[in-house]
Amino acid sequence: MTGSDRSPQAGLERPLGEDGGDGLTPTGDDRLTPTGDDPHTPTGGGEPTASLERVAVVLGGREVLREVSLTIRAGEFIAVLGPNGAGKSTLMRALLGLVPVAAGSVAVRGRPPGRARAEIGYLPQRQSFDASTRVRGVDLVMLGLDGHRWGLPLAVTARARSRRQRERERVREVIELVGAQAYAQRAIGELSGGEQQRLLIAMALVRRPRLLILDEPLDSLDLPSQASIAALLRTLATGERVAVLLVAHDVNPLAAHLDRVIYLAGGRALAGPVDEVISAPRLSELYGMPIEVLRAGDGRLVVVGQPEAPHVHGHRHGP
């Protein structure tokens, strides 16, 4: 396996929830708004799943995030955008409880993130499996349930056998949910990037999280696979009522499926519908300098004039 140095189940090796839930049985829209903006409520928003209130994060003496407030609701699909170094991954890590906040508060399902890990599914930056990786897709998904356990999972008692049966049923269910039935029994190294990503998403979903966090899941995928994964995530958010928060460099494969975006720059956050946020007036205000937003002939968005290199919201893997 190459790519990220984190295992594909990173962030999923967590104890059972404090309520004793095992993730196998189902349990019972404010916009992301920068400080000073009027809050808006998205049409059809669900119950609050996660929130940040006036959050600041300082790393290495640098304030990466400041005064960030947002509410994420059940069933929403939100992309986190911005140039490199803007704090996109830091925002995700704050929601995961992996970085301390210098000010403000973070809550997931009304609890500190560290106490709500059973409620969060996390898929780190995309993994690459070489052709020699013989682990089956179905076994990879199973790691989302038992990756934290030591030793061979022998089902000796009736209770253990019952649990194991429920686990197998849940794995079959989530594989069907992501549309991976046709290749789940094959070795993961034989599959295309899009097929691998569907199985990784299934692994992140198998414990029935209420918040699904994905760090650049479209990176390195070809354009058809990007479009397919974006449509899948929209379906999951709506059908499963799971809040989906996705870090991306390119909004275009996602735009038609998103409820909102949050755009980070200079530690600050701007949020709302795609066309409202990725606009010259709003980004100029966020950056504190003139920003131009162009739309290419094929519909791609290009942000020009920011302090970093021009940020192209377009086909990273196309011509």
pLDDT at 50 over 90: yes
Residue-wise pLDDT tens digits, 162-198: 888 899 999 999 999 999 999 999 999 999 999 999 9
- What is the average pLDDT across 282-308? 80
User: What's the pLDDT at 175?
Assistant: 97
CA gap 163, 160 in Å, rounded: 5
Residue-wise pLDDT tens digits, 86-102: 999 999 999 999 999 99
Angstrom distances, CA of residue 199 to CA of 25, 152, 208, 213: 20, 23, 15, 15
Question: Per the structure block, which two tokens stand in for 188?
Answer: 């993961």
> Residue 151: which region, alpha, beta or left (left: phi > 0; alpha: psi -120 to 50)?
left
- What is the average pLDDT across 69-74? 95
Does a structural domain hold residue 319?
no
62 pLDDT band, cuts 50/70/90, is very high
Question: Per the structure block, which two tokens stand in for 153?
Answer: 């999972």
Angstrom distances, CA of residue 309 to CA of 61, 82, 84, 122, 279: 24, 12, 9, 29, 18
Give the rounded percent of residues in the chain with a pLDDT score beyond 90.
54
User: What's the pLDDT at 24?
Assistant: 61
Does a structural domain hold residue 95?
yes
149 pLDDT band, cuts 50/70/90, is very low
Does a structural domain hold residue 108?
yes
pLDDT at 268 over 80: yes
- What is the average pLDDT across 3-10? 39
User: What's the pLDDT at 21?
Assistant: 52
135 compared with 298, residue with greater pLDDT: 135
User: What's the pLDDT at 155?
Assistant: 55
pLDDT at 204 over 60: yes
Mean pLDDT of the chain: 81
Does a structural domain hold residue 318?
no
User: What's the pLDDT at 111?
Assistant: 94
pLDDT at 38 over 80: no
SS3 292: strand
- What is the average pLDDT across 233-252? 94
Label residue 204 exposed, middle or buried (CB < 10 Å: 0-12, 13-18, 19+).
Answer: buried
Angstrom distances, CA of residue 153 to CA of 68, 149, 184, 204, 249: 43, 8, 21, 20, 40
Does a structural domain hold residue 76?
yes
pLDDT at 311 over 90: no
84 pLDDT band, cuts 50/70/90, is confident
CA gap 39, 50 in Å, rounded: 16
Which of 39-48, 170-179, 211-220, 287-296 is the least confident region?
Answer: 39-48
Residues whose CB falls within 8 Å of the CB of residue 62, separated by 6 or more in sequence, listed in order: none
CA gap 171, 6 in Å, rounded: 22
Does a structural domain hold residue 94?
yes
Question: Per the structure block, which two tokens stand in for 116?
Answer: 């709500």
Domain count, the chain: 1
Which of 6-10, 72-76, 187-191 is the least confident region?
Answer: 6-10
Give me the count of residues in the chain. Answer: 319
288 pLDDT band, cuts 50/70/90, is confident
End-to-end CA distance of the chain: 28
Question: Per the structure block, which two tokens stand in for 258?
Answer: 């998103």
User: What's the pLDDT at 125?
Assistant: 87
Does a structural domain hold residue 306?
yes
Q: What is the CATH number of the domain that holds 26?
A: 3.40.50.300
User: What's the pLDDT at 51?
Assistant: 95
For residue 80, the surrounding DSSP H or E stretch is strand 77-81
Question: Contact, 127 vs 4, CB < 8 A?
Answer: yes
pLDDT at 270 over 70: yes
pTM of the model: 0.79
User: What's the pLDDT at 319?
Assistant: 40
Question: Contact, 283 vs 270, CB < 8 A?
Answer: yes
Question: Contact, 166 vs 146, CB < 8 A?
Answer: no
Pairing label, strands 62-73, 48-59:
antiparallel
165: domain range?
Answer: 2-313
CA gap 4, 127 in Å, rounded: 6
